[in-house]
Amino acid sequence: MSAFSGREIRVFLAAAALALAAALPLADQGYYLSLAVNVAMYAVLCTAWALFSGPTHYISLATAAFFGLGAYTVGLGIDTVPFAALIAIAGLVSAIVAALVGLATLRLSGVYFVIFTLGLAELTRQVVTWLQTNFTTGVGLYVFTDLAERHIYWMLLALGAAVYLSGWLIARSRLGFAMRIIGNDETVAAHVGIDTAVSKVLLFMISGAFIGMVGAILAPRFAYIEPPAAFNPMISFQVVIMALLGGSQRLWGPLVGVIPFTILFDFVSGQFPNHTNLMIGAAFMLVVYFIPNGIVGVMERLRLRLGLRKTPSASGQEKAA
């Protein structure tokens, strides 16, 4: 009875937060909206990343690859295909690439997977460049639309809601259950009859598709799509840093990392334009030293201390150990 109403409250709170966020462009169409677009972008990227990397503990550095594919899908098709359809196609393309990559690499474990995904972004960039060099006349693509920043923002919010809903559904499905077992001990998972490869590939595809769609939505904001910008490796690293800062064991974990990190980053780059990297590096070291389990870890510890402990999160404890 009480658990049911608790869930109701949480759904209501989430809906209210979403509505509040969606109303932001009514208050400001300038700088704060731009900042909000960046926050929304990284929130969706990090949450989509954590869908896969949270339960499996596989650090994926392929974010830039999917993001770039999404942006390129829009760049290539914007003159002939409706934008909404392009977002869907971007998701599909990313999912297919994720499937191919997943089938080839998800048998690898740990550090091999990390290195491979890092290479994937570079590989995709080179393949796209090669295709363009040999079959088209230039490498830059122009994306001119009538979409204003607020439209991009609302699309990101809608996509964010979709990511959360998917994450919530996955956690309650057979796939989610299988992933939790795989994350804890892959050998055990295989022994109890879980097809670990198929489960991991499926989840990688879902995660990749969402990241590709973010790239597609942001393409009109770049106006000019070129490989170094679309496949910028910094995106992959920032997503990992922010998600880990928040904590990847909870669906909402990355979000509490993204918001302070983006605002902090923005404050630092505004106040110290010539020393941004130094300041961010120092901030990051402090974070790792003082809150190694992310903000979620801090919050859970506080909750324990206050005696409000409800159900212990098995995977959360596992990560802390």
Partner 1 sequence: MKRRTVLKLTASALLAAGIFAGPAFAEGDVLKFGASAPKTGPLAGGSAVTHWPAIKLWVHDVNAAGGIKVGDKMMKVEVIEYDDRTSGEEAVKNIQRLINVDKVDFLIAPYGTGLNLATAPLIAKHGYPHIAVTAVTDKADEFVSRWPNSFWTLGTSTAFASSVADVLKTLRDKGVIGNKVAVVNVADAFGIELANAGKPALKEAGFEIVYDTSYPLGTQDLAPVISEAKKAAPDAFVGFSYPPDTFALTDQAKLADLKVGAFYVGVATAFPAYIGKFGGAAEGVLGAGGMNPDTPVMQAYLKRHKEVTGMDPDYWANPVTYASLEILKQAIERAGTIDRAKVIEQLKNGSFDTVVGTMTFDGNINRKFWTVGQWQNGVFQGVSSTGVGGEKEPVAKKGWN
Nearest to 180 by CA among 162, 196, 201: 196
229 binds partner 1, rule: CB under 8 A: yes
Rounded to whole angstroms, the Cα distance separating 30 from 117 reads 36
With contacts defined by CB under 8 A, how many residues of the chain interact with partner 1?
A: 38
Binding part of the chain for partner 1, among 26-34, 164-172, 200-208, 301-309 by CB under 8 A, reads 26-34
12 binds partner 1, rule: CB under 8 A: no
Rounded to whole angstroms, the Cα distance separating 234 from 179 reads 28
| SS3 label, residue 307 | coil
Supply the minimum distance, in Å, between the C-beta of residue 137 and partner 1: 6
CA distances from 211 to 15, 72, 206, 231 (A): 23, 13, 9, 12
CA distances from 108 to 24, 103, 114, 115 (A): 44, 10, 10, 10
| SS3 label, residue 254 | helix
266 binds partner 1, rule: CB under 8 A: yes
Binding part of the chain for partner 1, among 17-25, 83-91, 273-281, 287-295 by CB under 8 A, reads 273-281
Residue 263 C-alpha from the chain's centroid:
17
Widest distance between CA atoms in the chain? 65
Minimum CB distance to partner 1 smaller for 82 or for 228: 228
147-176 residues in contact with partner 1 (CB under 8 A) are: 149
Minimum CB distance to partner 1 smaller for 149 or for 186: 149
Query: Residues 37, 61, 76, 201: which binds partner 1 (CB under 8 A)?
Result: 37
* Helices 31-56/174-184 angle, 10° precision: 70
Supply the minimum distance, in Å, between the C-beta of residue 138 and partner 1: 5
132 binds partner 1, rule: CB under 8 A: yes
Minimum CB distance to partner 1 smaller for 34 or for 184: 34
Binding part of the chain for partner 1, among 113-121, 161-169, 224-232, 312-320 by CB under 8 A, reads 224-232
Binding part of the chain for partner 1, among 57-65, 175-183, 203-211, 220-228 by CB under 8 A, reads 220-228
* Token code pair at residue 31: 């700088």
Binding part of the chain for partner 1, among 79-87, 266-274, 285-293, 303-311 by CB under 8 A, reads 266-274
187 binds partner 1, rule: CB under 8 A: no
Q: Is residue 316 within 8 Å of 300, Cβ to Cβ?
A: yes
CA distances from 47 to 88, 132, 317 (A): 19, 32, 20
Residues in touch with partner 1 (CB under 8 A): 30-31, 33-35, 37-38, 41, 126, 129-130, 132-133, 137-140, 142, 144, 149, 218, 221-224, 226-229, 232, 234, 266, 269-270, 273-274, 276-277
